[in-house]
Chain A
Amino acid sequence: MINFSNVHKIYPPDQPALVSVDLKVRERDFVFVAGASGAGKSTLLKLMFGAERATRGEVLVVGRNLSEVGAQGIAYLRREIGIIFQDYKLLTRRSVIDNVAFGLEVLGVKKKPRYDLAMQLLEVLGLADRAHSLPPTLSGGEQQRVAIARALIHKPRLILADEPTGNLDPDMTKVVFDLLLEANAAGVTVLVATHNLAVIEELNLRTIVLDNGKIIGNFQSPRALG
């Protein structure tokens, strides 16, 4: 699903963000990327969905070599990925259901089926009664669930989440990870960048640790390491 070979990312003028990263993520994996702020977690994710290009090395995501893919190819890649951000990135002047259906709108899905599916998704996420509200009127947890709904609506093959629970309380954090785990159980590969060690320890799933742009650990079962 994801294959990084000797990947370097240097921001101008001379700021290394990732140094010689080798990484393999198989289909249906659930992987945490841990590390302190500035360790390179976000850059790693950005390289995966084509928001940044590697300075050196090869990045393969969902069968595509991203150093050879143009802007159009990146757009098509993202249609197979669901992206979740810490700050939700919702359209504040569009209703909740518009936000969720937006992922299908850009794919050219007709209005009725995209709103039907968006409403079903909001129902399972417990947000049906907020469907016509504007995002700023929702709590942080509700907004993140809307963002997750948008990332899930097109049944992505890969979910990339950058600090998805950074602004949430423990209860909402659990809701968000329950959703991600369920998506993973349904066959979606999930990669979550977080510095929430409690969650990593509790879920005890594969964890990659970054420090100063280098992978310093790749643990299949972090709890076993204490």
Chain B
Amino acid sequence: MRDGGKKVGGAYGLDNLWKGDVDLQYFSKWGVAWQLTQQAFRSLCASPFTSILALLTITVVMLLVGALLLVSQHTYGLMADAGRGLTISVYLKDAAAESEVAGLKQAIQAAPQVAEVRYISKDEALKSFHKSLGEQAGLLEGLETDNPLPASVEVTLGQERLDQEGFEQFAASFRENPAVESIQYDRGLVGQAAALFHFFGSVGLGAAALLLLLAAFIITNTIRLMLYARRHEIVIMRMVGATAGFVIAPCLIEGCALGLLGAVAGLVVLYFLFLLLTGLLAQLELVRAILPQLTFLPWYYVFLVILMGVAVGAAGSFMAVRRLADE
């Protein structure tokens, strides 16, 4: 027989082989996970051009997402500064008992948004008004005995975020107090600050969502390209009994790895750009005045960007491989 194999007693010895001494040891679950991870990295290395291109694009996208967070972080700081020092005047009824006023002050002071509470008596209010009129102060003569100005509590807000609805609620919560006559604050400033917050918040959120969608799209297409390159291998894998999980898992790992590496690389680039830019901006007086302290993203934002990278990677690769699960 030409080109044939080693015959044992007229046979190839298949039965002996199957009954042979090779002990088929199987991987543990961790062993299988490690095997699939190795397969994922082999696949990434098998298409270096596609992998590097995808990684670079995801790096840029995650860099932009990080930059958005950085900008929003500093905008948030600026807005909080704008809100800081905003005051609410709580005018008191003349008939309010001392204990009621003390209770009101205590309640206001307990609110987390409040930085300072100052009681202004009727006399102090009149003196202050008197002072503000300057040379015209003579107009107030005679009012000392019958002071029409109410006592008030001046509430100065702290660093809590300005929110139109929250602000209204905060003010309204004291309106029902029996000691309170009326409440006044600058609605215009509060509204503007809140609108700015909403604008920056919406734009930032929209842009970040778009960028993350773009990253997911890139990962989906990268994995699709890799799957296309491996289509014969996948068919053969399925023919010899590979489960869908065995085929899909390396792709998901590839997607997560691309997302993770892209996020880390994006953050590293962002950090160096931040160092470079802060060095340049610090020389500008205006920037120093508005933003005396430029800081990089806090650790939880860094963690968030990395987490987003991994999540986008997993989602993108899942989109690419989901059909394989049913085949």
Contact = CB atoms under 8 A, between A and B. Distances in A.
B27 A110 contact: yes
Contacts of A114: 24
Interface in B224-263: 232-233, 235-244, 246
B11 A125 contact: no
Interface in A105-147: 105-110, 112-114, 116-117, 120-121, 123-127, 139, 141-142, 145
B238 A78 contact: yes
A106 B241 contact: yes
Contacts of B242: 75, 106
B3 A120 contact: no
B240 A186 contact: no
B24 A113 contact: yes
Contacts of A124: 5-6, 8, 12-14, 17
Contacts of A106: 237, 240-242, 246
A72 B327 CA distance: 10
A103 interface: yes
A120 B23 CA distance: 13
A171 B1 contact: yes
Contacts of B3: 126, 139, 141-142, 171-172, 175
Interface string B191-223: 000000000000000000000000000000000
Contacts of A89: 232, 235-236, 239
Nearest to A50: B238
B138 interface: no
Interface in A85-119: 89-92, 102-110, 112-114, 116-117
A102 B242 CA distance: 10
B26 interface: yes
B50 to A, nearest CB: 16
Contact of A171 (B2, B8, B11, B27): B2
A4 interface: no
B188 interface: no
B244 A72 contact: yes
A210 interface: no
Interface stretch (A10-18, A176-184, A201-209, A215-223): A176-184
Contacts of B35: 105, 108
A104 B13 contact: no
Interface in A64-90: 71-72, 75-79, 81, 83, 89-90
A155 interface: yes
Contact of B24 (A72, A109, A126, A183): A109
Nearest to B324: A71
Given A76-B243, A126-B3, 12 more contacts: A75-B238, A75-B241, A75-B246, A89-B232, A89-B235, A92-B232, A106-B242, A120-B17, A123-B6, A125-B12, A141-B3, A185-B11
16 contacts: A49-B239, A71-B244, A71-B327, A72-B244, A75-B242, A78-B241, A102-B240, A103-B240, A105-B35, A107-B26, A107-B241, A124-B8, A125-B12, A171-B3, A174-B1, A186-B18
Complex A-B, nearest 6 residue pairs according to Cβ-Cβ distance, in ascending order: A126-B5, A79-B241, A106-B242, A78-B241, A186-B15, A125-B5
